[in-house]
Chains A and B, each alone.
Chain A
């Protein structure tokens, strides 16, 4: 599930060689902006049926996964 979440987030960025660690804060990834944020929120809702808030993108991958699984 974690790898799927990472893939979903990586899809919104250009760099194909970008690697996400479990500790990286999503909003700190280079190129992140408000449109990226919307696309990630939208993709999470599409894939998990869960609505998260834009502030949740200040979490890291592990924390976001916990939030989705709550």
Chain B
């Protein structure tokens, strides 16, 4: 059983650690103390929609969203390298579902660095449409109806495996 909870101050060091060890060079870990003060202040002020996905025994990862002109923008997806691939994908799907449910928005936006091929391929396979690009970045929109079309089928498929 996996659940979401808001990121707490105790998570900050682990997030920093995950960013330090990730093979994904596109997520910058930044300065350690600046990172800590930035996140801890916003956690204390309840200013962050930043969530941890976990079971009783394992943290799968972290994901956040911001509201930009009332449209949710998701990002900073990072996962525990010890979690298997199905849990990572389950996390992404459940987080998008949560953002649609929490915000009642009919779309989600996000961007991915072009060099981060496996990530944008993954999002496109799950129905995201590329709406813009520049030299370094692809910009995406995920329509709620399109997402829901795939969601149940993909969740069922993931749950049919031993994760």
List chain A positions with a Cβ less than 8 A from chain B: 12-14, 31-39, 42-43, 45, 51, 54
Contacts and interface: CB of A to CB of B under 8 A. Distances in A.
- With most chain A CB atoms within 10 A of its CB, the pick from B84, B88, B89 is B89
A39 B23 CA distance: 19
Contacts of B88: 34-35, 38
B118 interface: yes
A19 B160 CA distance: 33
Contact of B85 (A12, A14, A35, A51): A35
B100 interface: no
Contact of A34 (B85, B125, B154, B157): B85
B110 interface: no
B42 interface: no
Given A38-B86, A39-B125, A33 B157 contact: no
Contact of B160 (A34, A35, A51): A51
Contacts of A34: 84-85, 88
A39 B125 CA distance: 7
12 contacts: A12-B121, A13-B117, A31-B117, A35-B85, A35-B88, A35-B118, A36-B118, A38-B85, A38-B122, A42-B125, A45-B157, A54-B84
Secondary structure at the B interface, as helix, strand, loop or mixed, is helix
Contacts of B23: 33
Contacts of A54: 84-85
A67 B85 CA distance: 21
Contacts of A33: 23, 118
A36 B157 contact: no
A38 B85 CA distance: 7
B21 interface: no
Contacts of A14: 117
